[in-house]
Structure 1
């Protein structure tokens, strides 16, 4: 790899809109030069049922000054917090506000940024009555330089107007209808429909942070890792930002040349194992410890090993400096023929589809639930999951990086239809922001550009895949998750892994598990042959189950049937594994039960989880656990995988 030894220079304005795309969106972390303050807590909240907020200028101060407000925790979804059915099902604008203090010491020597981990899905943000930024999309971070609008050494007010409406131009898509027969529908009756099966939770779902940087600061960092024997290789490029007006200085070129980077790699104990000067280049790590997926590590090594990449920016003319530390792992991930390789060794996905979905909290980040979920994942012996069907919180990826849980990082492009040039541009823009956020993640081994498009002809996935590949410095494998029946014309040539969702014995031939042993191998082999022997991954299969319901012989919706359904699939998967087919993994739908729109064919929500929504195991969870631990032992003969003492041998 050839890297020019140069500074990537970025100019930033003193104010304005959010930082998106190529501008960098590093997660705020405290250091010698940076401070971070959380604005999470209980905010004032009001639903704008009568579209009055903009007309009455609610953005000019705390919402409580303009009328009644509700208490709303941030982060959370607003839908399930109150006792109001009207608010739960509300489509349109809502408003948030909170008051916070800014230290006086931040005024002269720092840039002060306001950052939202996500806001679902259109957000306008004001600081002290001044419009700071807007953002569309519900799952990725955005931030703005708030310095010119802040009162330092005093209280400040942030107001957010948020709209959860989905249209044919948004990702994901939706439609709005307004029945106007007043003899049948009340005035203002609105129906929001969408072609996905999870509840469209909305709100400020992730942390809201106020953070500082020096005026000259590290704005972006790209890391690519490789290894040769016992030597690790870290290729890096750092971007340094300067105030916009400096571009016009006569001596700017000289000033920028006097800005230097010093980088170092620290091991897990904090010991420096490599260092050099320069804002781009190569670092080598002797006796490198590789990042391995959970239960895939060689004997004597651990999973999820992380180094720290420390970047120090120093201006010799202003004597300013900036320090930023980033966790990363040394590993490789690529497709070679019909195999998916991690660190040069075949990798088999044992995992789940999931949702960010929790009782009461909706999609809001909650450390308690994050830790519980990942403890359950480790308990099952899983090594991977897909972020179905949208990018998950950065706090979740911190855990997967550290635990060695492999991530298929998916965009919110689910069930797209009517795919014209405008929607394709939006799709590519979403992938640019997703890659920008997660490009340095050790656990992210593959991108998924979307789930279950209605038509590959209208999706034009090759264009999105090509753009995504260009965005990612590490060139990870790319997939798109397909649900349509097999057809020889349905294999995008630029797709690296064929990912398919199949529900034989559930949506078709319901209850007839005997068809699974024939239909799964037939389908996988057809896709592999048509797609030039590319790896094939089953990303969804599952059966709905009401916890506590039993019947013998097994019958659909019982725990007994879910176990029988999985048993039939496991036999089909074992046949594919033993026949040396291009089969690289199995992911159950779903990890846990989750909320759906109100429907007549589900008594509450999607019940395909092997855990309930409260994270209690169904019989299937024990069955899956026995299989996943057995697979871990089979697939990693060089490791001393010890089966848990409490493993129930259902399988």
Structure 2
């Protein structure tokens, strides 16, 4: 799916700003038939949960309504008009002037539709959006509704971050000619000093022309047709922390008249997993960075351009070269920043927490209404989300395929990979992912309970990614024991599977400003001691090719007795103030080169 673009053939109306908003009362009222009444103001993009000081909004489960109006310019009268949402969490229905125009499930990928037939091109047009934050065993991620009484309901979600909801990413309306460019697919290869660009253009037009320009605007290649290969002599490679981007200008003509155009930036680089190494442009790369979240005060998971630029500044300050989009595809604009800044990205799907046993509570294992215990089967016996899992992989890859910053796809985070049925669940998803994009490696992040001999999914992936918390959740506070357990387990994974390993999560909850003369739990000194221990083990393992600390910054979670105002494992606070450990990492990572470290 192409990112919206304003150029000489395409125009955009940005629909961000203040929308009318109200919560759904659960009565299935047909509120889209008439303008909403009794509304409040709500910013878009933003999560609605923390805008107002109202627990009914913060804890709301179910639907909510957004509405605004838009006038169309007269120049659009004969155009194809598309309404596009960057992301709505988790389900959306959209009406235009009271008519259902589009709907979508999945809270982290864009959706759009040609809405020309729903619009009144002479008058104001009313756009009404119904969003629903509920999850079930068919959704990705999964959740479960508990309806205790008619008035008391509770949504259990199987992931450890807050279930922010709303229109979280930008909304636009754009126009094209009726004969238009539907998609641009670019893959690259490197051979000596030459770069090769393979392209496929999706369009019903027959006269398609391409120009490739360098960053100075100089023409370096040109071609024509729906698909082909272009060669760039003396190519400049896209490198980690040293990005170089080319622009592919695609133009569609009809009777020698330009009717549509699109410019897609791309980088020329190669990616390969070979033996114990992850190669970028033929050189062994070492991942330094974080798991992150789209999370900040007030706007929640809403797209925040200033904050994102601040985060990239901190990534470079601390010496990071990469991050994982834990635990869902991030906004397209973030990936564009990564392309430009040379930050390497592991693109992850929203299939997080496919392991109900991880976060089971007494509320789930005992039926307090009927006073009897509840026994859950394996997650793979009850999960009904495989079809939607495949769907989100397709949507993510189609959206992000041309980003040079993305070097690997992560199919899931912390699934029950050691439960019977995991292989049967993941094999078709991994195969489908490879068929869509054979150019990038694939991984599945293992949870803390999976072992080298019990995981059923390791054979499917190219790189072993592990989340490990020895010294925190296991062997709590006992760092000498944690060192032995971590080292022994890493050796076991490599000896059994002979694949390179990235530690995609390691960290401890740390209260900013909580210090002591002894490295006690929750102190900044313990966070430093914990990181030093892990780094000592990492440096002794040649097959370990990366370290991603959990987490970049403190973030919001559901309330719980182990979560005091959210997850505090951040190296930075939620408002991006550094903890002591930030300086430890800064010193370490600036001394470790991105290439040839191991």
**TM-score scaled by length of structure 1:** 0.85
CA distance in 1 between partners of 2:258 and 2:555 (Å): 49
Q: Which of 5, 26, 35 is the aligned partner of 1:51?
A: 26
CA distance in 1 between partners of 2:269 and 2:89 (Å): 33
Q: Which of 301, 304, 314 is the aligned partner of 2:243?
A: 304
Q: Which of 481, 492, 496 is the aligned partner of 2:445?
A: 481
Alpha carbons 1:381, 1:632 under 8 Å: kept:
no
Alpha carbons 1:214, 1:320 under 8 Å: kept:
no
The structure-2 alpha-carbon separation of the partners of 1:537 and 1:325, relative to structure 1 and needing over 3 Å to count, comes to same
1:416 and 2:389 equivalent?
no
1:122: which partner in 2?
91
1:247: which partner in 2?
none
2:540: which partner in 1?
575
Q: Which of 483, 508, 512 is the aligned partner of 2:478?
A: 512
2:364: which partner in 1?
none
The structure-2 alpha-carbon separation of the partners of 1:633 and 1:121, relative to structure 1 and needing over 3 Å to count, comes to closer
CA distance in 2 between partners of 1:377 and 1:290 (Å): 22
Structure 1: gaps of 5 or more residues: 1-24, 181-186, 242-255, 295-302, 638-651
Segment drifting more, 462-471 vs 356-365: 462-471
1:436 and 2:402 equivalent?
no
1:100: which partner in 2?
70
Alpha carbons 1:462, 1:495 under 8 Å: kept:
no
What SS does structure 1 have at the residue aligned with 2:593?
helix
What SS does structure 1 have at the residue aligned with 2:314?
helix
1:217: which partner in 2?
180
Segment drifting more, 99-108 vs 392-401: 99-108
Shift of 1:320: 5.3
1:175: which partner in 2?
144
1:462 and 2:427 equivalent?
yes
What SS does structure 2 have at the residue aligned with 1:114?
strand
Alpha carbons 2:287, 2:594 under 8 Å: kept:
no
Alpha carbons 2:468, 2:503 under 8 Å: kept:
yes
CA distance in 2 between partners of 1:51 and 1:400 (Å): 41
Segment drifting more, 604-613 vs 458-467: 458-467
The structure-2 alpha-carbon separation of the partners of 1:635 and 1:625, relative to structure 1 and needing over 3 Å to count, comes to farther
Q: Which of 235, 249, 257 is the aligned partner of 1:288?
A: 235
Alpha carbons 1:62, 1:99 under 8 Å: kept:
no
Shift of 1:384: 0.5
Q: Which of 8, 32, 38 is the aligned partner of 2:8?
A: 32
Q: C-alpha offsets along residues 58-78 of structure 1, whole Å, 9 cap, x if unaligned?
A: 112431xxx211110000000
What SS does structure 2 have at the residue aligned with 1:437?
helix
Segment drifting more, 420-429 vs 615-624: 420-429
Q: C-alpha offsets along residues 141-170 of structure 1, whole Å, 9 cap, x if unaligned?
A: 000111111122432110001100011111
CA distance in 2 between partners of 1:310 and 1:61 (Å): 43
CA distance in 1 between partners of 2:290 and 2:126 (Å): 42
Structure 2: gaps of 5 or more residues: 356-378
1:539 and 2:504 equivalent?
yes
CA distance in 2 between partners of 1:291 and 1:486 (Å): 36
What SS does structure 1 have at the residue aligned with 2:307?
helix
Alpha carbons 2:49, 2:57 under 8 Å: kept:
yes
1:272 and 2:234 equivalent?
no
Alpha carbons 1:416, 1:454 under 8 Å: kept:
yes
CA distance in 2 between partners of 1:464 and 1:573 (Å): 31
1:494 and 2:460 equivalent?
yes
Shift of 1:195: 1.8
CA distance in 2 between partners of 1:510 and 1:190 (Å): 35
CA distance in 1 between partners of 2:239 and 2:563 (Å): 40
Q: Which of 17, 20, 23 is the aligned partner of 1:41?
A: 17
CA distance in 1 between partners of 2:380 and 2:176 (Å): 40
1:22: which partner in 2?
none
1:628: which partner in 2?
589
Q: Which of 322, 328, 349 is the aligned partner of 2:260?
A: 322
Shift of 1:455: 3.7
What SS does structure 1 have at the residue aligned with 2:75?
helix
Q: Which of 420, 429, 447 is the aligned partner of 2:409?
A: 447
What SS does structure 2 have at the residue aligned with 1:609?
coil
1:335: which partner in 2?
273
Shift of 1:510: 1.0
Alpha carbons 1:461, 1:492 under 8 Å: kept:
no
CA distance in 1 between partners of 2:553 and 2:111 (Å): 29
Q: C-alpha offsets along residues 346-394 of structure 1, whole Å, 9 cap, x if unaligned?
A: 0110010010000001000011101011100011110100000000000
Shift of 1:422: 4.2
CA distance in 1 between partners of 2:421 and 2:166 (Å): 31
Shift of 1:513: 1.4
Shift of 1:419: 3.1
Shift of 1:636: 7.2
Q: Which of 144, 147, 150 is the aligned partner of 2:116?
A: 147
**TM-score scaled by length of structure 2:** 0.93
Shift of 1:633: 7.3
The structure-2 alpha-carbon separation of the partners of 1:264 and 1:320, relative to structure 1 and needing over 3 Å to count, comes to closer
1:612 and 2:560 equivalent?
no
What SS does structure 2 have at the residue aligned with 1:304?
coil
CA distance in 2 between partners of 1:165 and 1:379 (Å): 39
CA distance in 2 between partners of 1:78 and 1:198 (Å): 16
